[in-house]
Amino acid sequence: MSSTSFAVFGHPISHSLSPRIHQAFAQQFGIELTYRTIDAAPEDFDTAVRRFFDDGGHGANVTLPHKAAAFALADERSDAAHRSGTANVLTRLPDGRLAAHNTDGAGMVRDMTERHGVDLRGHNTLLLGAGGAGQGVAWRLLDAGVDTLTIVNRSPQAADVLADAIGEPGRAHTRYWADLDDIGSYDLIVNATSAGVLGASLQLPFSLVGSRALCYDLSYGNAAQSFLAWAKTAGARYAFDGLGMLVETAADAFELWHDKRPDTDPVYRMLRGPDA
């Protein structure tokens, strides 16, 4: 296998657009590479990753449910990975060790602020989900200047762990999922749950959506449709899926691997199609 071999690991993963994105980026620079999807069940993830890199793989993207496992597997970790305790990028170092990065938060904020033109400063924010995706974006939301971050997760313990790790009780705190009917409204709601990917519905109250609210789903395509439909019905001013975030995080990984920064806008428009 060539040293220009790349992959994305997930479970499920057949829906992933990452191969198309990285091939489009590579064409901008005349780079030849192979990029494939690898479906690995949680119990097989470590073995599958090590086999990929032992066979000459150079870099891998990682999506649910493996981001915490990718962080644990790595030998070196970026600051963003350290803060979140998760990784969505693994890179083989020259000595064979693996380096972990987390580009989720940076990609999401860049999509919101640069592509969609939203100023995040001062927002009262509701983060739905405290798993790998939620952990990856929480700090970046605070860095971007949101006023408060309320974290809600089906398992309260996971939300508490994330809030404690952030360590800013005046800005980041938790509430129980059962309290969603009574916790008021927010002007930024980020869906970081895996419900859409797994085909489940969140059944959220409309009262969460404040006037002129932005609702953002980290998923894209069909996985985001239920949340976006809820947001629009509830009167949100903006409702975006995470396609732009996916492209931006892929660009960060591409730059790590090739030391070249791709132009994301034409790739986003290609994937979005007539709706771009």
Q: 185-220 pLDDT, tens per residue?
A: 999 999 999 888 878 888 999 999 998 999 999 999
Q: Give me the pLDDT at residue 136, please.
A: 94
Question: What is the average pLDDT across 265-271?
Answer: 97
Give residue-wise pLDDT tens across range 62-90: 998 999 999 999 999 999 999 999 999 99
Please, which residues bridge with residue 37 across strands? 8
Q: What angle do CA 198, 194, 82 make, to 5 degrees?
A: 145
Whether 276 has a pLDDT exceeding 80, the answer reads: no
Tokens of 19: 């191969």
To which H or E segment does residue 16 belong? none
Q: Give me the pLDDT at residue 198, please.
A: 77
DSSP reduced 3-state for 168:
coil
Nearest CA-CA partner of 34 in 6, 54, 15, 56? 6
State percent of the chain over pLDDT 70: 98
For the chain, what is the mean pLDDT? Answer: 95
8 A C-beta contact, residue 256 and residue 59:
yes
CATH 3.40.50.720 region(s) of the chain?
A: 105-241
CA 247 – CA 271 distance, rounded (Å): 9
Whether 275 has a pLDDT exceeding 70, the answer reads: no
Does residue 260 carry a catalytic annotation? no
| Domain 5-102+246-275: which CATH number of 2.40.280.10, 3.40.50.2300, 3.20.20.80, 3.40.50.10860 | 3.40.50.10860
DSSP reduced 3-state for 100:
strand
- Exposure string over 75-88, b if 16+ CB within 10 A, otherwise e: eebbebbebbbbbb
Whether 1 has a pLDDT exceeding 60, the answer reads: no
Please state the CATH superfamily assignment of the domain spanning residues 105-241 in this structure.
Answer: NAD(P)-binding Rossmann-like Domain (3.40.50.720)
CA 169 – CA 263 distance, rounded (Å): 38
To which H or E segment does residue 74 belong? none
Q: Where are the beta strands (DSSP E) in 25-94?
A: 34-39, 57-62, 76-77, 89-92
Burial class (CB in 10 A: 0-12, 13-18, 19+), 45: buried
Question: What is the average pLDDT across 86-111?
Answer: 97
Q: From the candidates 58, 67, 92, 101, which is the catalytic residue?
A: 67
Give percent helix, percent strand, percent coil of the chain, each to the nearest 5: 45, 20, 35
Give residue-wise pLDDT tens across range 150-169: 999 999 999 999 999 999 99
Whether 2 has a pLDDT exceeding 50, the answer reads: no
CATH 3.40.50.10860 region(s) of the chain?
A: 5-102+246-275
Q: Give me the pLDDT at residue 15, please.
A: 86
Whether 267 has a pLDDT exceeding 80, the answer reads: yes
* Position 3 confidence tier, pLDDT thresholds 50, 70, 90: very low
**Residue 113 DSSP symbol:** I
